Structure 1
Amino acid sequence: MTNRKVGIYCMSSKQHLPSNVTWYKAPKFNSEKSLIHPGGRFVVRKKQITENAILILNDLWIEDQGVYFCKIDDVFGPGTDVRVTRPVDETKVLYRSQMKDALIILQGMLLALIIAAFGFRKKTLSEKEESIYEEPEDDHIYEGLAIETCEDGDLYEEISAYAQPEGAEAPWE
Structure 2
Amino acid sequence: MRWILAGCCGLALIGLSVTLQISQKPRFYGGRTSQSLSIYCLFSRHDMPSAVHTRNSTAVWYKADKYDGEKERIHEHEGVLFRKWNVIQNGFIHFTNVQIEDSGVYFCQVNGTYGPGTEVLAVKRRDVSQAAYRSKMKDGLIVIQGLLLAACIAAILLRKQKLMEKRDSEYEEPETDHIYEGLAIETCEGGLYEDLSAYARTEGTEAPWE
TM-score, L = length of structure 1: 0.65
Does 2:63 align with 1:32? no
Aligned to 2:204: none
Aligned to 2:199: none
* Counterparts of 2:161 and 2:67, CA distance in 1: 61
Greater relative contact order: 1 or 2 (C-alpha under 8 angstroms, separation 6 or more)? 2
* Counterparts of 2:140 and 2:100, CA distance in 1: 31
Specify the structure having the higher radius of gyration (Cα). 2
| Dislocated runs of 4+, deviation >4 Å | 126-132
Aligned to 1:73: 111
Aligned to 1:4: 35
| Post-superposition offset of 1:5 | 1.7
Does 2:128 align with 1:90? yes
| Post-superposition offset of 1:126 | 4.7
Structure 1: 5+ residue stretches without partners: 140-173
* Counterparts of 1:129 and 1:73, CA distance in 2: 94
Quickly say closer, same or farther: Cα 1:130–1:71, change in 2 above 3 A. Answer: farther
Quickly say closer, same or farther: Cα 1:36–1:112, change in 2 above 3 A. Answer: same
Which structure has greater helix proportion? 2
* Counterparts of 2:159 and 2:66, CA distance in 1: 56
In the alignment, residue 64 of structure 2 is paired with which amino acid? A
| Post-superposition offset of 1:131 | 5.8
| Post-superposition offset of 1:65 | 1.8
Superposition RMSD in Å: 2.6
In the alignment, residue 145 of structure 2 is paired with which amino acid? Q
Structure 2: 5+ residue stretches without partners: 1-31, 177-210
* Counterparts of 1:121 and 1:25, CA distance in 2: 67
Aligned to 2:174: 137
Aligned to 2:25: none
Q: Percent identity?
A: 40
* Counterparts of 1:62 and 1:33, CA distance in 2: 18
Does 2:44 align with 1:13? yes
SS at match of 2:126: coil
In the alignment, residue 50 of structure 1 is paired with which amino acid? I
In the alignment, residue 4 of structure 1 is paired with which amino acid? Q
Q: Deviations over 1:119-152 (max 9, x none)?
A: 33334445555666x575149xxxxxxxxxxxxx
| Post-superposition offset of 1:88 | 3.0
